Amino acid sequence: MKCVVCRESAVIDVRRANSNFCSDHFLRFCQEQMSRAIREFDMLSPTDRVLVAVSGGKDSLAVWDLLQRSGYEADGLYVGLGIDGYSDTSGVYARAFAESRGLKLIEIDLPTDYGYDIPTGARAARRAPCSACGTSKRHLFDKAALEGSYDVLVTGHNLDDEAAVLFGNVLRWQTEYLARQMPVLQARVGFPKKVKPLIRLSERDTAAYCILQSIDYMVEECPMSAGNKHLGYKEALNSIELASPGTKSDFYSGFLRKASALFRAEYLEKSAAGRDSPSVEDLTYCERCSAPSTASLCAFCRLVDKAGGSARVGEGRIASGLEDNAAQSVRITTRAERLASSTTREVEAGQ
Ligand code: Q46
Ligand code: ZN
Ligand code: ZN
């Protein structure tokens, strides 16, 4: 097996690209795929301050590594979820990566800072663990990005993740979700810009990237993921991909090129007519944490209450963990005002 670029011995085959690569050219391939996604969807500009949501797994560490190698100013954010046998170890990987490269890692720990963990919080709120986890992470990611005056929040979602979500949304024709399934979500009042630079790389690619770059990552999956329907969608897509390489990528990229705008147009039309999501006039703010909300308390603060935690402990902890910079609050306020005038979308459904 020879590298398609240099004809040296190849270490990996990328069947969807009908290509084999040596180590150097595979690493370059990953960098190019990320750069192409960033350019194509206008995800980042070179001067952006970037916050990367880091779990300690292969995808988030790969994207952080790729971004800093591309010259972006990128800090990491790790949220400890208090999941036994998972959270402590994943934090070790995130910290080790940051230390090895001299990068800044902001840490928030749910049990310490908010008084609850995901398993007990989910039970108390009678919700699936991943649902309680999603609410918690979205809130904390958004808050940290805004309070830290970051321009963009980056997540490590890859092609397999996005194709599986798309598959699930199509199976149930969840048109509102289809309208919002974009690799870039622009900033709006109370929410930072969010981007997914790894949409052109598969899980296998990011695992190989980490191995070739000697990045130690958490291999074990979160124990709460058992039974998660997206795992089933991934398996289904993998068996199709095995028989017909490139299908997964065609499915997702074809959606973005050919169908996404149609769902989006319908969704925006409904929103403008007031038949769907609340408009900016309906926007209120959580009376405890000031996050945008459709009720007096936002979904996160309601979850904290049900879980018997205390948001106030964590609110102070996040603020003190971020840059203590007087200009920062001015910048956040200015940005929030600018966004408020252009925002008409829902505020609590999560991005
Ligand atoms: S961490 Fe959280 Fe995932 Fe674990 S509880 Fe579910 S959502 S599976 S990415
Ligand atoms: Zn080569
Ligand atoms: Zn709140």
Distance 161 CA to ligand 1 centre (A): 13
Q: Which residues line ligand 1 (CB under 6 A)?
A: 81, 118, 129-130, 133-134, 222, 224-225
52 beta partners: 76, 154
Q: Whose CA is nearest to atom 5 of ligand 1?
A: 130
Q: What is the mean pLDDT of the chain?
A: 88
Ligand lying closest to the C-alpha of residue 284: 3
Task: Catalogue all structural domains in the chain, each as residue range(s) with its CATH number.
Answer: 23-340 (3.40.50.620)
Q: What does the alpha-carbon distance between residue 66 and residue 72 come to, in Å, rounded to a whole number?
A: 9
Local confidence band at 343 (pLDDT 50, 70, 90 cut-offs): very low
Contacts of 315 (CB under 8 A, 6+ apart): 289
Number of H helices, E strands in the chain: 14, 10
Residue to probe by mutation, ligand 1, list 116, 203, 224, 228, most atoms within 8 Å of CB:
224
In Å, what is the CA distance from 256 to each residue of 183, 259, 264? 9, 6, 11
Q: Are 230 and 177 in contact (CB under 8 A)?
A: no
| 11-52 residue pLDDT tens | 999 999 999 999 999 999 999 999 999 999 999 999 999 999
Q: Say what the pLDDT of residue 198 is.
A: 98
What average pLDDT does the segment 295-306 reach? 95
Q: What does the alpha-carbon distance between residue 121 and residue 137 come to, in Å, rounded to a whole number?
A: 13
Distance 52 CA to ligand 2 centre (A): 30
Q: What does the alpha-carbon distance between residue 209 and residue 221 come to, in Å, rounded to a whole number?
A: 18
Ligand lying closest to the C-alpha of residue 136: 1
